[in-house]
Amino acid sequence: MAGRKKTEITIETDQVLVIRRRRSSRAWCRECGSDVDMVGLADVGMLTGISGHALQDHAEGCGWHVFESGNGTALICLPSLLKSK
């Protein structure tokens, strides 16, 4: 009796995330202790598919480093965002 032959196929995928420099700004992240790129909540919403108040709640739950800019806009530390993905 011949044994059954098993073929296993493994597919690896990578995700590439491109954030244009004009949509981010450099600022000091107190939690990272370094100068990092910061992106606005609207841009993060486009990346994650989450919007509005749910996005702010999600930011706190994921451990994103959230800061308020001088004009009152919420900014997210990009390294903390990428670590949570």
pLDDT at 82: 82
Mean pLDDT of 49-66: 80
Q: Do 76 and 44 meet the contact criterion of CB atoms below 8 Å apart? A: yes
Sheet with strand 34-40: strands edge to edge: 24-29, 34-40, 74-77, 66-68
| 74 compared with 85, residue with greater pLDDT | 74
Instruction: Say what the pLDDT of residue 20 is.
Output: 60
The predicted structure's pLDDT at residue 32: 92
What digits encode the pLDDT tens for the residues 13-56?
A: 776 656 565 667 888 999 999 999 888 887 888 777 787 778 87
